[in-house]
Amino acid sequence: MPWRRQGASATRSRPWRPARRASSSTPASPPRRRPRPSWACRRSCCTPAAPPPSACSGPTPCSTTRHTCRRKLLRSLDGILCSEHELDKPVKELAPIRVSDLFDPSKYPNPEMANRLLDTATEVTDNSSGIVINTFEALETPELEAIRSELAASGVGVFAIGPLHKLSTIGGAGSSLLEADRSCIEWLDAQAAGSVLYVSFGSVAPVSREDFEEVAWGLANSGRPFLWVVRRGLVIGSGSGDTELPEGFERAAEGRGKVVRWAPQQEVLAHRAVGGFWTHSGWNSTLEGICEGVPMLCRPLFGDQLANGRYVEEVWRTGALLVGKLERGKVEVAIARFMDGEDGAAMRERAKELQIKAMEALSSAGSIQLAVDKLIDHILSL
């Protein structure tokens, strides 16, 4: 949904571009030069690498406010995130985040790379002229205020311009890394409204074979319709080939479940038949669920997913966390509570309220349009 600046004729037929400012008869003065005219290029803490500040030639989005908010706190906690009994302890500076939600380089296969990524993220932010964050004001008001307060003295502008997938002219299918199996849409058409649990753990996050089998049997034994994305390489050690389903699973789920390698997720979440989203809590998936008013069952695995899931459960209260060891009986109970229980109904109602806020932000007079205008003025002032 591309936009033009306010005051110009509105159009959604082509990508929005800033208009050039009218020239004046007065000779133009030499442009002001800032010592650091670069932009924050950080995506998320699971990104393999990031360019140095000098390589950033334009504004690139930072995925979540939580990464920016906690960047210095993480360094102050460096080396003390090892006491198991303190993992559930709240971090008072970043409520409702807990110690276990923080990015701990020592827990990654390559701690040196994780530390380097964290250093780069901090350096890029500190040496930027601006940060574009894929969020909207009503979703994370206190977090955006905290970031702006921290960066105000250095003159770094902070612009909440998201959800980006709603502003894109490409569309969900065109921007997908994998080819979607559209037969799932026809299958959804035949299901009752709000009856289907959509399950997808994203395009990158891997799961263990043990967890995969517990998820499978939890879904099969739940007695509820489900659409499950089982991409190639989903299970650790399975390589790039198709992931083999547990023996007997297809027979047990026959008539209720559909398994695909990949799905057109935005279209699926917007479908009337989908009543819940079991997700790995990646930021893109979280925003897509919010924008379609779908409650989320969160099973975060690493990186920003941990904090995103915490926000879904404790801040927005539009879903629930599924933590600890996965067991099929535990999965069945969680699905029943989520899809049919009173708690699930309340989550669904709050999810619809949050969806309305997202749509208001995307309107022609919404916070995103205002942020884009401010971003243009900021760029032209550099």
Contact (Cβ atoms closer than 8 angstroms) between residue 320 and residue 313? yes
Q: Looking at the structure, do residues 219 and 336 belong to the same domain, yes or no?
A: yes
pLDDT of the residue at 66: 56
Measured at the CA of 145, the angle between CA 280 and CA 16, to 5 degrees, comes to 75
In angstroms, the Cα distances linking 352 to 134, 194, 290, 325 are 20, 13, 8, 30
Strand runs (DSSP E) across 193-352, as ranges?
A: 196-200, 226-229, 257-260, 274-279, 296-298, 319-321
Q: Model-level pTM?
A: 0.81
Question: What pLDDT digit, counting tens, does each position of 273-296 carry?
Answer: 999 999 999 999 999 999 999 999
Does the residue 20 lie in any domain?
no
What is the domain count for the chain? 2
Q: Looking at the structure, do residues 135 and 157 belong to the same domain, yes or no?
A: yes
Question: What pLDDT digit, counting tens, does each position of 198-229 carry?
Answer: 999 998 888 999 999 999 999 999 999 999 99
Q: How many percent of the chain have pLDDT more than 70?
A: 76
Q: Looking at the structure, do residues 213 and 269 belong to the same domain, yes or no?
A: yes
Contact (Cβ atoms closer than 8 angstroms) between residue 364 and residue 11? no
Does the residue 251 lie in any domain?
yes
Q: Looking at the structure, do residues 232 and 83 belong to the same domain, yes or no?
A: no
Q: Looking at the structure, do residues 328 and 212 belong to the same domain, yes or no?
A: yes
Q: Looking at the structure, do residues 368 and 353 belong to the same domain, yes or no?
A: no
Q: Looking at the structure, do residues 374 and 351 belong to the same domain, yes or no?
A: no
Does the residue 4 lie in any domain?
no
The CATH number of whichever domain residue 320 belongs to comes to 3.40.50.2000
Q: Looking at the structure, do residues 204 and 324 belong to the same domain, yes or no?
A: yes
Closest-CA residue to 225 (of 261, 262, 254, 267): 254
Whether residue 117 is predicted with pLDDT greater than 90 in this model: the reply is: no
Residue 82's domain spans which residues?
A: 53-163+364-381
Does the residue 1 lie in any domain?
no
Does the residue 14 lie in any domain?
no
Q: Looking at the structure, do residues 115 and 207 belong to the same domain, yes or no?
A: no
Does the residue 26 lie in any domain?
no
pLDDT of the residue at 122: 82
